[in-house]
Chain A
Amino acid sequence: MPELTINTFPVNKLEFSDKTVYNDGCLSINNVELREMLLKEEGIRDVLINIARPGDSTRIVHVWDVIEPRTKTAGPGVIFPGWLGPPIGYGEGVIHRLSGMAVVTCTEFNSEGDKYTEQGEGIIDMSGPIAEMTPFSKINNLVIEFILDKKMNLDEQNKVVTRAGLKAAKYLADATVGKPAEKSEVRSIDKATPGLPNVVMIMVIAGSSPLLDTYVYGFSCVGIMPTFIHPNEMAEGALVACTGMVASPANTTYDFQNNPLIEKLYQHHGVRHNLAGVIIERGYAYEYNDKERLSAHAANLARFVKADGAIITSDSGGNIMVETMLACRECEKRGIKTALVLVEACGKDGTGLGLVDYVREADLIISVGNADAAINLPKMDTVYGGKNYIGTNLPGNFACDRILMDICGANSMLGTSRVRADDF
């Protein structure tokens, strides 16, 4: 099977300039050119671009997505298929990535036409006590705030901001074309080592409605059956985030691109286990027996590739935990040993029962922390991404009592975070 080469170009400095150039760890960005490019997108009325660096007294609010800049330089297909080209993924060829940075897209969605769906806050603090809890405080962020045309419905707004963010991400990564990579890695899981256990990853992803969904090659995942997706397809941008209701336990595009669980499973492929496949399962199905159908099918796919073990992750929280637990049950019933990675909902003071649902078979659950925990956001000098905390008149750089759920990436179930809840 053809391979994917990933060339890494680290970024330790971001600056604005009159030319977009990558040189020796420094990415200079022609922000005027970038802004003009984005303003050409239908549905966008205005674009504000800022840089937030680790250690800055800066808070980013109204975060929609976090995206690692990537581009495809050789091989069939495009980067972010379904958005920047036909929805045809290959998972092969050569892609370039700018590590140590992200495009952070921010906007305040207009939910008037869809009154049941409310955007939640999404916050990244670049310094202070809360910065420790999100992985995104440790990278250089290009913050792009979009002011949208109010005449679109919520689904259209989601797609406009998503497409624009991915375009910006590719535009930045294109600055590395022709440059020598610091690291070049060939990715393949074709060769299995006999005698090692087979491990799969089952990613239960959000699939419900605008602001609570996942894009698979540009399409909502509502209604899909569980399916295999190759890690190399994910590296190319097959999965893009669409979650704006909660921040900390939601999967971002950055998580899908840089999935630390897949990274670790891949590192030891052929050495300690064989990574036999990655399965995505749509969660938030509307009926219980549909949840059973989806989770049993995911377990059947795992069994099809002779999995001995499965790491099962989830997304955002709530009734998607039913699918996640059922996937555990169905795997264990088929003799596949499971480890779950889950967020807890223990309430503001940590005394509530953390698991929304559970099955007897779930004897190994890794904690990514209590998302309900009360936190105090300190005053910052600057706020980007928006003016006030969503739905309030309080400026976003002011001190505020919130919950951890508002902090992007803090309770990521794909493995980025070090936050963990424990018995005290």
Chain B
Amino acid sequence: MSKIAKTVYYMNQFFAGIGGEDKADQPPIAFEGAQGPAKLFAEMLGDKGTVVRTVVCGDNYFAEHQEEAIRDLLAMVKEAEPDIFIAGPAFGSGRHGMACAALSSAVAREMGIPAVTAMHPENPGVDMLKPPAYALPAEISAGTMKEVLTRMCAFALKLHAGEPIGPSREEGYLPRGLRLNRIDPLTSAERAVNLLWAKLEGRPYETEIPLPKHIDVAPPPPVEVSKARLGLVTEAGVVPMGNPDNLESWWATHWYSYSIDGLDGLTNETHCTVHAGFENTFMNEDPDRGVPLDMARELEKEGKIGKLADFYLVTTGMMMTTDNAQRIGREMAAHLKKEGIEAVILTST
């Protein structure tokens, strides 16, 4: 491999020299050859590559017309038949970062060529960067342009040459939410004891499994239960008999809403569970054990709770990945809010 790396380079309206905030509405436009920082990048490529086209879009235009912007920019990129794609660097600029990340991800995925961008590790664009694209870390300020471009150039050429790429902490790119197994020279026993010694002896240490960034969910303010519109939500896999929508028994990726309008309880003739994580006999005997409709109706009649929603929401919580759980939770919450539900009882098994 290692033929000349034909490069297409993306940047926003500011770096392209079109204008500042006043030109953030710039629709996608292509220039032949290198513009703005792509010129310095081209020098760094030397005889290993050329910048054949620079594609540009205003930060606001991209944010407000993301689908069309990506579609139009992708066409401009494809037309130039590049071997590698470079975007940014976006430094601390959020909109530029998101555009660089979204476009790099689309190019890498659809064209199968190396796509490299760079931005500050806290740039909101980082979460939007998807493999097989890469983002390198950068400072907040654009004053470090030359240093970042040097790294981007070296890394892009490495990808272009088909060299194997190691983990992010060895190669210097930002983690992409992708954890892959490999064989370490040391056993986990050796690494664990070495790292504990470092922690005990006051030397620096680094975790091998970083905790998720956003751990805390602030609880919303309490509701007046006797007046609230209340919903029932469960992960117990309780569905109408026959499982009409084929809710999965484990590794679930779906959730469903089922009517309880006019029902005073769920019975072993009307409902059942499909959950693979517990002995189903007891739940099937009385599905109110998973969705406490019978008790909720009593409390509703006694005025102890406000009106019950006329549906309940269900998924199956066995071996559900955390990402799916978070997505399903968000989707359920949006649906509940739309229906005017203020609080839910969430049953787990």
Q: Footprint of B on A, CB under 8 Å?
A: 115-116, 132-133, 197, 199, 260-261, 263-265, 268, 272-273, 308-309, 311, 337-339, 341-342, 344-347, 349-356, 358, 360, 362-370, 373, 404, 412-424
Contact = CB atoms under 8 A, between A and B. Distances in A.
B209 A367 contact: yes
B169 interface: yes
Given A355-B212, A421-B181, 20 more contacts: A116-B280, A133-B183, A261-B189, A264-B189, A273-B197, A311-B193, A338-B196, A352-B322, A353-B321, A354-B209, A365-B209, A368-B188, A370-B179, A370-B180, A415-B188, A418-B187, A420-B188, A421-B208, A422-B179, A423-B168
Contact of A364 (B169, B199, B323): B199
Given A273-B200, A360-B215, A417-B187, A366 B177 contact: no
Contacts of B201: 197
B339 to A, nearest CB: 29
Given A421-B179, A423-B178, A309 B189 contact: no
B67 interface: no
Contacts of A373: 180-181
B193 A370 contact: no
Contacts of A265: 193
Given A309-B196, A415-B192, A352 B321 contact: yes
Interface residues of B, number: 45
28 contacts: A115-B279, A116-B278, A116-B279, A133-B181, A261-B193, A264-B189, A268-B193, A311-B193, A351-B177, A351-B179, A353-B321, A354-B179, A355-B212, A364-B195, A364-B199, A366-B191, A366-B192, A366-B195, A367-B188, A415-B189, A417-B187, A418-B188, A420-B181, A422-B182, A424-B131, A424-B165, A424-B168, A424-B176
Contacts of B324: 352
Interface in B318-334: 321-324
Contacts of B212: 353, 355, 358
A414 B112 CA distance: 40
A366 B167 contact: no
Contacts of A133: 181, 183
Interface of B: 131, 165, 167-169, 175-193, 195-197, 199-201, 205, 207-212, 215, 278-280, 321-324
A308 to B, nearest CB: 6
A339 B222 CA distance: 38
Nearest to A135: B187
Given A364-B195, A366-B208, A423 B186 contact: no
Contacts of B193: 261, 264-265, 268, 311
A92 to B, nearest CB: 25
Contacts of A368: 188
B278 A352 contact: no
Contacts of A423: 167-169, 175-176, 178-179, 210
List the 3 shortest-distance A-B pairs measured between CB atoms, nearest first: A415-B189, A116-B279, A422-B167
A122 to B, nearest CB: 18
Nearest to A415: B189
B209 A355 contact: yes
Nearest to B170: A422
A420 B183 CA distance: 6
Nearest to B209: A365
Given A337-B199, A353-B321, A353-B323, A420 B280 contact: no
A367 B179 CA distance: 11
Contacts of A420: 181-184, 188, 191, 208
A424 B182 CA distance: 11
Contacts of B195: 339, 364, 366
Contacts of B323: 347, 351-353
Nearest to A132: B183
Given A263-B189, A264-B189, A364-B205, A419 B196 contact: no
A364 B196 contact: yes
Contacts of A352: 321-324
Contacts of A347: 321, 323
Nearest to A358: B211
Contacts of B184: 418-420
Given A416-B187, A418-B186, A424-B167, A342 B321 contact: no
Contacts of A367: 188, 208-209
Given A309-B199, A311-B193, A339-B199, A421 B321 contact: no
A351 B190 CA distance: 27
A113 to B, nearest CB: 12
Contacts of B186: 418
B346 to A, nearest CB: 14
Nearest to A117: B279
Nearest to A263: B189
A364 B168 contact: no
Given A354-B179, A355-B212, A358-B211, A366 B200 contact: no
